[in-house]
A and B are shown apart, each in its own frame.
Chain A
């Protein structure tokens, strides 16, 4: 039965399912209990599952991840909420030096099935530290997996698949899309849903391949709709998994279109787009009609809210990149 849910409610429902399915699954974070999280993603869960399974933690991000490691060694499957992207850095050491390496250094004897949920990206008019896109830091770290959902159905299934994963996962939630609605098939088993680490072509096209993830998928789709009016056919691929990347569909697409535009909110310098451009160039060199172009945030700190619309990639900047690709 498909139901229309917001992305936020889809996450909430997915978390509820995960808690129901396995008594070892716990949620921990700041304000996740009574308040239900500042974005209400854990709304009602403490009331129904108890305060030893939905744990309001002290205000200390390294503590959240560090204790989650101990709980995972004890056999629990913690889902940690980092309240905002810009607050993950106090936990960076525990994530990069401990979470990411434990399976490797234990020669596979220790698994840390920890999910680190982070609302990320801008567009909500927030003060500084509340609109960042830290994905490259984590995608760069071996031992971590990084995924980003872009729509309610993916949010519902991907969060459940992440909880089932034997590897630690950084789970990025596009906070400005929390309120967007979409159909979610609540009866489908998550194991039968689109695989967690597989990309997906969300709009077929013939002229340009657009790669996006998280909040930029909607932007790319809007650009594709606008381009169609100009007679240009954009193929949009939602990467979904940023580490590992699943680029088979992207290679196939670029070999057909000969053009590729990558879109993300994070700054361009040494970002995901650079890796994508490098790999597509290696794999599709003889098919490319123009270089892979990037539409990204600027290489500045995230700016003040009143100018964030100028900072963030939007429909027009995507179309501009499409024009530049054709004009090369």
Chain B
């Protein structure tokens, strides 16, 4: 497969072409029919999500450049995969993100400020996964796929599958993660235990600098066959297809029919993180080729052509995105540094003699400087 190129014909579910032409329906190899049957409101809503998610991401990148965040992992280019899959989740569904799923987080209705403490370095990104049905970001590549699998096993054990309103779980990871033992173990476990789980792989073509061919000889979605469950590749820059494919896989899971691997074929338009320099390992023409497949432009073209939205709508969305970005920026700047003594908090549920002693010693040491000139 060509580096960063298009996949072979017939292997990609697409419902909206890069030119903004809608495809009524696509039938997958297993006979599943994927339809773009959204209301006008829903089309406009997806567009709004895409624009806001990109704007917030750009704001975070700017905050890093200005020294307000230590690092940022941009989702630029992957908005459709994240908004499509994120909006396909139902309230009761549980998501296990990597550290780049800011778009999914937004679509779950979660305040985008939540993970920024991690990137600013004022906390370690802690929240209650069960409160938001969204696990904490996981930085170790692929580790969260096992957590998602265990959680999904628990869903089955709780008897929450087998009906239309059952629960499903989604695990996010990237193309690089598919080489990890944990991800392959998660595939095995999910298959063996028929876990209500959707493996959502955003194949953005690069694991930092390493192109896809360093991770695989076959298209990633085909790996599922070896583990005994369906695999499907979707145009990850097509929000309609990403939504439709994810929704079908989630429903498959919630009905108790087991896991699915979705390979969302996309491209990381930005750097791996703000610390990375992609010009060292990929050429400008490749990035330009993907620019033409931009996930937002095609939705806008579609909305315009179908007269689903007018100029006032697009202006209003841009203004909302800007407002939300400004609001995010203001709150990031107000995030206080943590008190040093919090280093010692929450190591254990009920303290620890060793840590408690070290906290006391640290406090005493700090206090010894009080009143001194230093």
Contact = CB atoms under 8 A, between A and B. Distances in A.
Interface of A: 26, 52, 57-58, 60, 62-63, 65-76, 90, 93-94, 97-98, 101-111, 142-143, 145, 166-167, 243-246
A60 B355 CA distance: 33
Given A66-B182, A70-B151, A244 B189 contact: no
A93 B143 contact: yes
> Chain B's interface: helix, strand, loop or mixed, by majority?
helix
Nearest to A143: B347
Contact of B153 (A67, A98, A104, A243): A67
Contacts, number: 136
Interface residues of B, number: 45
Given A57-B189, A66-B186, A109-B131, 8 more contacts: A66-B143, A66-B147, A67-B146, A70-B148, A71-B151, A106-B127, A107-B345, A143-B347
B186 A107 contact: no
B24 interface: no
Nearest to B348: A167
Contacts of A143: 347-348
Contact of B140 (A58, A98, A109): A98
B168 to A, nearest CB: 13
A220 to B, nearest CB: 24
A74 B345 CA distance: 24
B338 to A, nearest CB: 10
Given A97-B140, A110-B136, A71 B345 contact: no
B129 A97 contact: no
Interface of B: 96, 123-131, 135-136, 138, 140, 143, 145-155, 157-158, 181-182, 185-186, 188-189, 192, 345-350, 352-355
A109 B125 contact: no
Contacts of B143: 66, 93-94, 97-98
Given A105-B125, A111-B349, A143-B347, A71 B150 contact: yes
Nearest to B189: A63
B124 A66 contact: no
Given A60-B185, A104-B346, A106-B126, A66 B355 contact: no
A66 B135 CA distance: 14
A308 to B, nearest CB: 31
Contacts of A244: 352-354
B136 A104 contact: no
A93 B126 contact: no
Nearest to A72: B150
The 6 closest A-B pairs by CB, nearest first: A66-B146, A70-B150, A67-B150, A74-B154, A70-B151, A105-B124
B349 A63 contact: no
A70 B349 contact: no
10 contacts: A58-B185, A63-B149, A66-B146, A66-B147, A70-B148, A73-B147, A74-B150, A93-B140, A104-B347, A106-B128
A71 B346 CA distance: 21
